[in-house]
Structure 1
């Protein structure tokens, strides 16, 4: 095959992929960055499973919004820290939308405390959701994700900053990045890419809660682009990694932070 023919076929394949995207599971998708990701993927043409742990009303409202715009979506309750509930999430998605092709591991918890003041309960909570939850979904994806699919995990730019109070949180996200790199190699031969997104400070209700105006201004001034990220900024990066144009990006962490680190 000559180069021109190869490129023509590659472009034709990309056009087909853009027309009908694979089924996506987005964990922790009822609000914040997760909701923005679900909306963006639906707009890109992906049927979306909106996963939530507790916020049923918000998840159902998001599904209604996607459906009203002409997309396909369902809400699925599952605590990703529990393997049987993750299995239910994948099985329900497959039964109602089709075989999953994209997994976005957005669900996570962040509690800021010094290492000296950390507790066993806090350790268990953050590692259960951030690490065990990511591991549970990746394990299901290994068996049930379509060949040629995408796994997109969530890390954090906080890893590069080493700020006091972020020790436990950073430890969980270091683990996620390690799992991401290894999983990319373990899925050799299936055409599945595995990457992570590492946002900087993003103006979500979760981030803004409990912060003074001065603290918010401080965080906004840190990146060279001199603003907080918006959920749509992160959703755009996930859209790229979930789509056909990212097919040669694998085992990487993409730091979406306005140049902060």
Structure 2
């Protein structure tokens, strides 16, 4: 097939799509072809019953008891373990919490602490804006730390990774071009230089296969309102490889 297929060809492909039945689980206006799930996933029919129960039973009826009766205390970890199955992470490494920006801040600071004496963060010059904002902010709060950008300071991200780099922050998929990074290969390149790596999964979690453990990734972050259809305001998630749990210093310590 070459060029843009006509409507008949598209309908024929849709009729044989093994995921076609999933369409009926979601609510979309009649006649709308929605191609913006990369920004906000569609609402499912099932979600409204869950919202109603959380509001009228767990919150309104159980009040503070709902932390225990509804499992709110354990929910970030339990949801993290469920989500972990979609990103190739064994249980106990993923937590649903905060926002993508906050989680990037936490893992970059943690990675810098784990690599004392190193003075560089590497990221992509055409990265998703929030990644760059947070990376710039983290670098500005640490004396002598520089942010190196692929496409600005060197043509490729691999060329920027050396013995001075503490951490590499990279998107699994480039949100502009759709380029899919080889997670295992780039992780090996970072580790060969002694650096840690953080993968931003916002544009792959729920859409493409992800294998964090298999790739030997160090950290990952992502959101749940795009391809995971969590809805506006849905929390993000954070992954930290089990082997690092004894060495991580939480930069935003608090009661919760």
TM-score higher than 0.5: no
Indicate the structure with greater helix content: 1
TM-score w.r.t. structure 1 length?
A: 0.31
Greater Rg by CA: 2
* Higher relative contact order, chain-length normalized (CA < 8 Å, sep 6+): 2
